[in-house]
Structure 1
Amino acid sequence: MRLRSMLFVPGDSERKFAKAQGAGADVLILDLEDAVAPSQKDMARATVARLLDDPAPRAWRFFVRPNPFDTGLTLADLAAVVRPGLDGLLIPKADGARDVERIGHYLDALEAKAGMTPGIVKIAVVATETPAAMFALGSYAPAHPRLVGLTWGAEDLAAAIGATSNKEDDGSWTRPYQQARSLCLYAAANAGVAPIDTLFADYRDTPGLERDCRRARRDGFTGRIAIHPAQVETINRCFSPSEAELATARRIVEAFAAQPDAGTLGIDGKMVDIPHLKAAQRTLAAIDDES
C-alpha cells in the first residue's frame, strides 16, 4: 500500500472532499477528529459513510481518522465508517501497540458485520501525541497484521507536556520534537512499516515544504501528511525516486545479480556493498508499491 502522500480532509465538508479528489494524493484521510466541531460529529459520520458508499472508481485510498479513545467517540465512529470502501484508519493519540490491538478487535467484528474481507482495513498510527506514547514506540514490533505505517505529531504532544512552543526562532523543531521525529522513524523501521513524516503547516510555503521533504526522505521517511491539496504535488515528487536514482539502483542490482558471490563491487569508480544493494532494492520497490 503506497503511503507517499496522505491528505487530510474535514469529514464534514463535501466541498473540500470534492477538491481533494483531484489533488493526486495516494490517500485521502477523512477526519472525524480535530477538523470537526463537537456539534458536527454526527453529521460528519453520516457524510463520510455516504462518501464511502460511492461505488465510482478512485485512484486513491480511503482512510478515516476517528476520535481518540479518551473522547468516548471512537466506537461510534468505527461503527459508522467500517463498510465496503474503507481502506484504512489513522489512529490519533495512540499510547502504543495495545491501542492497535484494541482497534484490531473492533475491526474484526465490524468487518464481519459488514460482510468485508477479514483484515482488509489497515491501520496507521500517529505514534507520538502523548507522553505515554513516547515510552511505547518500541511496542509496535512485531507489527500487528493490520499495521502499515507510523507517523508523528508535535502539537498534541506540546500541549500534553506544557510546552510554550515546539519550534525554534528559525522554525526548526526544538529538541524534544526532534527526538519524537527520530524515534518514530526508528519505530517504523523496527516494525517494518512505512515511516510517514508529519505535516508542514504553512501550505503556502512551497519551497520550504520541498526542502523539508527532501530532508525527510534523506533521513528515511517514505511519505508525508498533507493538510492542503496544493502540497500534494511537491510531496509526491520529493518522495519518488528520480530517473537518475532508478538508473543507479538498477545498475547496482544488476551488477550483484551478475556476481552473486560478491560482497563488494566497483561501479563507476565507487565501491558498493550489501547495504548499497539493499538500498537499491528499496528504491526499485518504491515504484511498484501500489498494491
Structure 2
Amino acid sequence: MRTLLFVPGDSPRKFARARQSLADALILDLEDSVAAEEKPRARQETAAMLREARGAQKLFVRVNAFDTGLTARDLAAVLPYAPDGIALPKCGGPEQVERLSHMLDALEAAAGLEPGHTRILAIATETADSLFNLGRYKGCSPRLWGLMWGAEDLIASLGATTNREGGALLDSFRLARTLCLAGAAAAGVVAVDTVATTIDDLDAVAEEARAARRDGFRAKGIIHPKHVEVVNAAFRPTEGEIAWARRIVEAFAGDRTGVVKIDGQMIDKPHLRAAEKILESAALQ
C-alpha cells in the first residue's frame, strides 16, 4: 500500500468518490474530521460503508484516541464488519498498540473473525511524549503494520505556532519525521509519511512524496482524491531504478562471496536488499 486516503466517517458521498480513486487504502475517519455531536452517526455510517461490497482497496478505520474514552465504542461499532485495519491516533508508545491488540483479540473472537485479521497503523508522533518512544515498537504486536508520523496535532502538543516556514518543515517536526522513519525501520514495519495539506498545489504534493520515498517511507497519507495519482506516481520505481535492481539481483544470483563488481563499483548485500525492495515495489504497481 502506497496511498492511504482519509475519508470522513460520516460522509457516504465522499466515501463513494474515494472508492473511485486509485488509492490503495481508505482510512474511514471517526476522529478529527467528525464533530463531537456527529460521532454516533459517524459510527453507523462507517459500519454501513464497511458492509458494502469490497473491491481491491483496503479499508482501515481511524478510531478516537484512548484519552477520549471513545475508542471502545468505535471499535465495537466497526469490528463486526471486518475492517482491514485500525489507525490509532495520538499513539504514545508500544503499550497503546498492545492495549489495542488485546481489544482486537476479543472483538475478533466475538465477531467470528480470523485471529489477527485486523492490522494496526499507529499514528505515532502527535504528542510530545510519543517522540521518546519511537524506538520501542519492535515486537510489541504482530498486528502492527506501520508507523505514521503526523505534523498537525504535534503543533499544539509542543506549543508551536506552525510546523513549516517557507514551505520547509521546522527542526522539531523534521526530528519527528526522522524518528518515525527510524522507528519503523527498527520495528520492521512500514513507515508512512504524513499528509500534504496543500490541496491544490500538486507540484508541492509530488515533491513531498518523492522526498518521502527517497528517504525510505513506503507509503503516504492523503486527504484529497486529487493527490492519489500524484503520490502513486512518486512512489513508483523508475525504469532506470528497476534496471539497476535487476542487474544487482542477477549478479548476486551466481555469486557466493557477498560482494560483486558492477561498472567499477563494489556492490554488497545492503545494495542487494535495496534492489530487492525496488523490484518488490515494482511488482505491486
Q: Indicate the TM-score class for this superposition, using the shorter chain for normalisation.
A: over 0.9
Q: CA deviation at 1:70?
A: 1.1
Conserved? CA contact 2:242–2:282, under 8 Å: no
Query: Residue 101 of structure 1 aligns to which amino acid in structure 2?
Result: E
- d(CA) in 2 for partners of 1:279, 1:262: 18
Match of 2:178 in 1: 182
Q: CA deviation at 1:289?
A: 5.4
The one of 100, 103, 123 equivalent to 2:100 is 103
Query: Residue 2 of structure 2 aligns to which amino acid in structure 1?
Result: R
SS in structure 1 at match of 2:169: coil
Identical residues among aligned pairs (%): 51
Query: Residue 8 of structure 1 aligns to which amino acid in structure 2?
Result: F
Conserved? CA contact 2:95–2:140, under 8 Å: no
Could you report, residue by residue, the CA deviation over 1:209-242 in whole angstroms, capped at 9, with x for unpaired residues?
Answer: 1111111111111110000000010111111212
- d(CA) in 1 for partners of 2:12, 2:57: 16
Q: CA deviation at 1:252?
A: 0.6
Match of 2:110 in 1: 113
- d(CA) in 1 for partners of 2:257, 2:234: 33
- d(CA) in 2 for partners of 1:287, 1:109: 37
Asked if residue 8 in structure 1 is aligned to residue 6 in structure 2, the reply is yes
Query: Residue 235 of structure 2 aligns to which amino acid in structure 1?
Result: F
The one of 248, 273, 279 equivalent to 2:274 is 279
SS in structure 2 at match of 1:140: coil
The one of 180, 196, 208 equivalent to 1:200 is 196
Scaled by the length of structure 1, what TM-score is found? 0.95
Match of 1:40 in 2: 38
Q: CA deviation at 1:263?
A: 2.7
Could you report, residue by residue, the CA deviation over 1:70-116 in whole angstroms, capped at 9, with x for unpaired residues?
Answer: 11111000000002441001100011000000100110010011110
Q: Tell me how many residue pairs correspond in the alignment.
A: 285
Scaled by the length of structure 2, what TM-score is found? 0.97
- d(CA) in 2 for partners of 1:85, 1:28: 14
Query: Residue 27 of structure 2 aligns to which amino acid in structure 1?
Result: I
- Structure 1 unaligned spans of 5+: none
Match of 2:224 in 1: 228
- Equivalence map 1:110-189=2 (5 Å): 110-168=107-165, 170-189=166-185
Conserved? CA contact 2:199–2:224, under 8 Å: yes
Could you report, residue by residue, the CA deviation over 1:147-186 in whole angstroms, capped at 9, with x for unpaired residues?
Answer: 0000111111110121111112x11111000000000000
The one of 246, 251, 258 equivalent to 2:254 is 258
Asked if residue 218 in structure 1 is aligned to residue 214 in structure 2, the reply is yes
Query: Residue 172 of structure 1 aligns to which amino acid in structure 2?
Result: A
